Structure 1
């Protein structure tokens, strides 16, 4: 059996920050940000990761005609949980009343939703689960330095979800990987080591630190490779793919990837101008937008691909 997406959902916070808003306290401008990233605005949460995840999950279940009681497994891709414990997935289970579901958070940053979808496929194909709720949710606004124009202009908050069930068609092939040797190119410190025998010296903040050039080079080289591998594994030529739903990291990255793969930009949907980089939430939010607009047709083939901190990547081919 394969994992088939039956419904999607998403949630974006009400509060929006435009580039002009950021320019009120940063040495930047709308033109400077747009030229380098393609971003015009982003949303910032007033609630947190779990609440956004719950809202997206409810929308996905409703869209797929699935009840919370049917869910066997809840997977949440996030690097910005509200608590170390309980997990976001356990908070979602409680809010939904999905009492029979096992719960698991997956920390793979911008690849988190793809890693979670791959996990759902493994559970469903093995017979360990029949119905899986997969969520990507991030409150990136809590981990960026709002005085650092190199990072805070990039990120936004949001959540997206997909409800999957076992079927004859669905996810056809998966490609995943990590390059831990380059992992510190994008990092975010955790709680400092403090115990009776050790006291590590950490910097005062726990904000994201990024080597932008290293990340750009990684993305434009790695994403075309992972897409080619997953298409080959599925036995499907790129020409048969209707939409390439990429992680919305940077418009320049997406243009470079499309050029490398030789695919027309009309097959590469973008919402980065409106949302910024939402890490694990970017792919499911964009997928839900396409679904709600009626741009996804049952039976057509899609490629989904996420990439980012770790350094990590995950791609899959699915039949909608």
Structure 2
């Protein structure tokens, strides 16, 4: 028995925010002092480092659980299953539902419970719970779904990654330009063919690295100190990712028994273009190989970093032929990989 993705769906928000839209923002240093460079210089440097030209934000009336439900409905339809037959709904996110203009996150009930409610699933044995695992949350949720099915505890699982990061960013922090909103969902089922999950790898580095991403005060010292925003030590994360993610990918590939020459695509968390490129180069350097051209599809240029939603959204776009110059065929080997708050890393080797 193998376990595979039988359906996928994504929700890409309709509100497009370009780098030019940050022209009137007042960017500050972390001590509240004015940033020394004009915003056009900030935007150009930001584009060179991250590759992000624009990002997507949800409309004011939408919540994380709403867009998760939209993506889930598409995945359910794509898999052609009855939602009442789902055994688990695993919902990866990090900040819950944050209403526009609110200062509190709402996770009561869990977002997975809300999605199940909105899907109008009656079956009480469909267990719904949330996964808090930083940006690698969707990948880790797929691994958990695999484990449930492998253990005979489930036959079908709905795995979702959704986030509305636009609601938790400090507009005085240049890093706010990285983050975006979105949702991706997948149906995970047992299969009789040879496709599916071939191996997985996960690790949590918390001894020194736990607080590389954290909730902190606005850089504007006049803001309410009790209101917190997503913050990060970018250089530390970059160095950590370059050190640990390639090793996790290589360990996963070794477990799978697949030769690196067979890998068709690497779907890595869309965090930062330069960082992702460096991770891929380090990965192939382990095997003393050059990075193959076209190995790494990217969505970050137009969609930004939507945390747990980046990998399932990228997969959905790729498998449905909606990424220019990229495609997948039956039997292709792909590698999922992610890194994020915790600090957590993980990877999956998957045969289409």
Q: How does the TM-score come out when normalised to structure 2?
A: 0.84
Q: CA deviation at 1:189?
A: 5.8
Question: Counterpart in 2 of 1:160?
Answer: 184
Q: Tell me, what secondary structure is at the counterpart of 1:306? A: strand
Moved more, 94-103 or 248-257: 94-103
Q: Which runs of 5+ in 1 are unaligned?
A: 191-201
The 1-side partners of 2:329 and 2:110 are apart by 34
| Residue 168 (structure 2) pairs with residue 136 (structure 1) | no
Question: Counterpart in 1 of 2:340?
Answer: 308
Moved more, 122-131 or 290-299: 290-299
Q: Tell me, what secondary structure is at the counterpart of 1:266? A: coil
Q: CA deviation at 1:95?
A: 1.1
Whether the 8 Å CA contact 1:33–1:40 is kept in 2: the answer is no
Question: Counterpart in 2 of 1:197?
Answer: none
Equivalent position to 1:186, from 177, 192, 213 = 213
Question: Counterpart in 2 of 1:253?
Answer: 275
Q: CA deviation at 1:238?
A: 1.4
Q: How many positions carry a matched residue from both structures?
A: 308
The 2-side partners of 1:272 and 1:280 are apart by 13
The 1-side partners of 2:53 and 2:281 are apart by 23
Q: CA deviation at 1:203?
A: 3.8
Equivalent position to 2:58, from 45, 57, 80 = 45
Q: CA deviation at 1:222?
A: 1.1
Q: Tell me, what secondary structure is at the counterpart of 2:171? A: coil
**Counterparts in 2 of 1:1-320, with a 5 A limit?**
1-26=1-26, 27-29=38-40, 30-46=43-59, 47-82=62-97, 83-100=106-123, 101-149=126-174, 151-168=175-192, 169-181=195-207, 182-188=209-215, 203-262=225-284, 263-293=291-321, 295-320=327-352
Over 6 Å off, 4+ runs:
none
Q: Which runs of 5+ in 2 are unaligned?
A: 27-37, 98-105, 218-223, 285-290
Q: CA deviation at 1:236?
A: 0.6
Q: Tell me, what secondary structure is at the counterpart of 2:159? A: strand
Moved more, 175-184 or 290-299: 290-299
Q: CA deviation at 1:216?
A: 0.4
Q: Tell me, what secondary structure is at the counterpart of 2:108? A: coil
Give CA deviations for 1:116-155 in whole Å, capped at 9, x if unaligned: 0000000010010100000000011111101111x20110
Question: How much is the aligned-residue C-alpha RMSD, in angstroms?
Answer: 1.6
The 1-side partners of 2:122 and 2:271 are apart by 35
Q: Tell me, what secondary structure is at the counterpart of 1:310? A: coil
The 2-side partners of 1:189 and 1:105 are apart by 23
The 2-side partners of 1:177 and 1:269 are apart by 24
Higher helix share: 1
The 2-side partners of 1:109 and 1:55 are apart by 22
